[in-house]
Amino acid sequence: MSSTGMVDERIKKTSRLRTAFIRPELGAIVGVVAVFLFFAIFAGDSGMFNPQGVLNWSTVSAQFVIIAVGACMLMIAGEFDLSVGSMIGFAGMSIAIMSVTMAWPVWLAILLTFAICMSIGALTGTIVVRTGLPSFIVSLAFLFILRGFTIFFPQVIERRTIIGGISERAEGDWLAPLFGGKVGEGFFRWLAEMDIIATYSRGARAGEPMVSGIPMLIVWALVLVIVAHIVLTRTRFGNWIFASGGDAQAARYVGVPVNRVKIQMFMFTAFCATVFATCQVIEFGSAGADRGLLKEFEAIIAVVIGGALLTGGFGSVIGAALGAIIFGVVQQGLFFAGVESSLFRVFLGVILLFAVILNTYIRRIITGER
């Protein structure tokens, strides 16, 4: 498909149509449109598109977005992190033990947990770049190590694997609302007064809107996507990330600090996992040893649906976010459409396969390989 061989490929003109087609997020954009069309037809009247329904799948999608952004940046830098799910459980348990069992202030528990988890991310990254082992194996080790500690500590300290009572501890805390709070509550109350959205019909909250605000989880997801997208596409550091994942040796030759970039991306992945865990713990008020199971694969699937290459050096945060939205909408939408829960994995597998095949074709167009 490519080239006359005469012109240097870097200054070669490509047509606008072609430019539009070789975007990594193309497959994901098509997917999002298809998914919404599908559910508009099959679940349009099921409550999926009323305010509570929208909030429900948006929240679930936002969860996926948060971990997918981290996984995407790391994957573009050429590495994997399979310990994301365990990190979520570990971070949540860490906050619970520090704030409830040890009775430290919640803000301190949150900040310390971020420090600990990002250090673990740095450790994973350091081991990967120092030993040259595949990150697949190193992070797999951390998947087990972190999950083991997440079960061990609460069992030894509290003799149970679910620690609750964080909501009471978080009351009046200055940092907790940044993760568990809601924004725009006044606006939604106004909407309810205008009869635009439904209100509770009974109980202590009768008359209050069913959707009382946008959870901070969604705000975090948006902020992370925007910041990561700008860093990746508009800064020198973003170029370094692409270079480190594309061809690490070539990047080193031109002076890119590949090892540092990779370690920082492991730390960023850990940061995203901790954001996820903190939002969850503050919202639900308890941490369990089984939280976050299999989330690492969900993050990777979202990223791959979003068009990133498993081999690194190619991908987009917007694509990963769209992949996460597809994932979240499909997961909740199948419930709305009344499909057996057990079939969810079948759909997931089909979508994944479809996305990967589509993305492979796109890559072939870009690289010109046959």
- The tokens for 110 are 């949150």
Q: How far is the CB of 38 from another protein (least distance, A)?
A: 16
Q: Judge whether 221 and 227 are in contact, CB under 8 Å.
A: no
Judged by DSSP in three states, 72 sits in helix
- Nearest distance from residue 101's CB to another protein, in Å? 15
In 3D space, the residue among 75, 84, 89, 64 whose CA is nearest the CA of residue 139 turns out to be 84
Residue 6 touches another protein, criterion: CB under 8 A: no
Q: Are 147 and 76 in contact (CB under 8 A)?
A: no
Judged by beta carbon, residue 90 or residue 336, the one nearer another protein is 336
Residue 239 makes CB contacts below 8 A (sequence gap 6+) with: none
Q: How far apart are CA 139 and CA 121, in angstroms?
A: 9
Q: Which is nearer to another protein, 346 or 357 (CB)?
A: 346
Q: How far apart are CA 75 and CA 58, in angstroms?
A: 24
Read off the DSSP letter of residue 199: B
Q: Which is nearer to another protein, 18 or 160 (CB)?
A: 160
- Please tell me whether residue 366 binds another protein under the rule CB under 8 A: no
Instruction: Compose the 284-313 pattern: x for residues touching another protein by CB under 8 A, - for all others.
Output: xxx-x-xxxxx-------------------
Q: Is 311 exposed, middle or buried (0-12, 13-18, 19+ CB in 10 A)?
A: exposed
Q: Residue 344 interacts with another protein (CB under 8 A)?
A: yes
Range in contact with another protein (rule: CB under 8 A) among 15-23, 251-259, 319-327, 339-347:
339-347
Name the segment binding another protein (CB under 8 A); options: 68-76, 183-191, 228-236, 279-287: 279-287
Rule CB under 8 A: say whether 166 interacts with another protein: yes
Backbone φ and ψ for 214, nearest 5 degrees, come out as -90, 120
- Compute the least distance from the CB of residue 121 to another protein, in Å: 22
Question: In whole angstroms, how far apart are CA 176 and each of 119, 205, 273, 303?
Answer: 22, 23, 16, 29
Minimum CB separation of residue 256 from another protein in Å reads 38
Using the minimum distance from each CB to another protein, give the nearer residue, 211 or 225: 211
Give phi and psi for 100, each to the nearest 5: -95, -55
**Any contact of residue 177 with another protein (CB under 8 A)?**
no
Q: What is the C-alpha radius of gyration for the chain, rounded to an integer number of angstroms?
A: 22
Could you tell me the smallest distance in angstroms from the CB atom of residue 85 to another protein? Answer: 9
Binding status of residue 280 toward another protein by CB under 8 A: yes
Span of 118-126, 178-186, 249-257, 333-341 interacting with another protein by CB under 8 A: 333-341
Q: Which residues contact 35 (CB under 8 A, 6 or more apart)?
A: 326, 329, 330, 333
Q: How far is the CB of 93 from another protein (least distance, A)?
A: 13
Which range, of 142-150, 163-171, 172-180, 261-269, touches another protein by CB under 8 A? 163-171
List, in sequence order, every residue forming a beta bridge with 199; answer none if it has no partner: 209
Q: Of residues 167, 184, 363, 366, which one binds another protein by CB under 8 A? A: 167
Least distance (Å) between residue 367 CB and another protein = 36
Question: Angle formed by the axes of helices 216-234 and 236-246, to 10°?
Answer: 80
Question: Taking a C-beta distance cutoff of 8 angstroms, is the pair 219, 183 a contact?
Answer: yes
Residue 141, class by beta-carbon neighbours within 10 Å (0-12 exposed, 13-18 middle, 19+ buried)? middle
Among 12, 18, 130, 205, binds another protein (CB under 8 A): 205
- String of contacts with another protein for each residue 49-88, x by CB under 8 A: -x-xx-xxx-xx----------------------------
What is the binding site for another protein (CB under 8 A)?
A: 46-48, 50, 52-53, 55-57, 59-60, 159-160, 162, 164-167, 198, 200-206, 210, 280, 284-286, 288, 290-294, 332, 335-336, 338, 340-342, 344-345
